[in-house]
Chains A and B, each alone.
Chain A
Amino acid sequence: MKKIGLLCLALVLALGALGVGYAAWTDTVTITGTVNTGTVDIEIIDYSNTWIWKVLPATNADEIVIDKFWDIGGDGRTPVGMTVPAGVVDAFPNPPPGTVGVDPVAYANSSAGKADDSIVIDIDNAFPLQALTADFLLHYAGTIPVKVTVSDLGFVDNTDTPIDTDIASYVTINYYDSDITGYKGTPIEVAIGDQWHYCDYILVEITVDLAQVDNLQGQSGTINGTITVKQWNEVP
Chain B
Amino acid sequence: MKKIGLLCLAIVLALGSLGVGYAAWTDTITITGSVTTGEVCMDIQCPIGSVDGPLSYLTTGYEPAIPAIYGQDWNATVIGPGFHLNPVQRTKNVGWVTNDCAQVPSPRKEVTVTLHNVYPSYWDHLSLGIHNCGTIPLRLEYVTFLDANDNLLIGYDETGAPVTTIKQNTYVKFDLSNNGIFDVEIYWGDNWAVQIEPSDSWDISFWIHVLQDEGIDFSTPQNFTFKAAITGVQWNEYGTVPLPPH
- A-side residues, CB < 8 A to B, are 38-42, 44, 54, 56, 58-59, 61-62, 64, 103, 105-106, 110, 113, 115, 117-130, 134, 138, 142, 144, 146, 149-150, 153, 155, 167, 171, 206, 208, 210, 212, 216-231, 234-235
Contact = CB atoms under 8 A, between A and B. Distances in A.
Contact of A217 (B24, B31, B37, B195): B37
Interface in B130-144: 134-137, 139
Nearest to A156: B32
B29 A117 contact: yes
Given A221-B35, A226-B29, A227-B28, A59 B137 contact: no
Given A127-B234, A138-B29, A226-B30, A61 B239 contact: yes
Interface in B221-245: 234-239
A103 B30 contact: no
Size bin of chain B's contact surface = 20 to 34
A138 B27 CA distance: 12
B86 interface: no
B8 to A, nearest CB: 16
B193 to A, nearest CB: 6
24 contacts: A39-B25, A44-B29, A54-B137, A64-B236, A105-B38, A119-B30, A121-B33, A121-B35, A122-B34, A123-B35, A123-B36, A125-B37, A126-B36, A127-B38, A144-B25, A149-B26, A221-B35, A222-B34, A223-B33, A226-B29, A226-B31, A229-B26, A231-B26, A235-B24
Nearest to B194: A59
A121 to B, nearest CB: 3
Closest 3 CB pairs of A and B: A121-B33, A234-B24, A225-B31
A126 B236 CA distance: 13
B25 A113 contact: no
A61 B235 contact: yes
Given A210-B37, A218-B39, A220-B36, A118 B30 contact: yes
Q: Which secondary structure dominates chain A's binding surface? A: strand
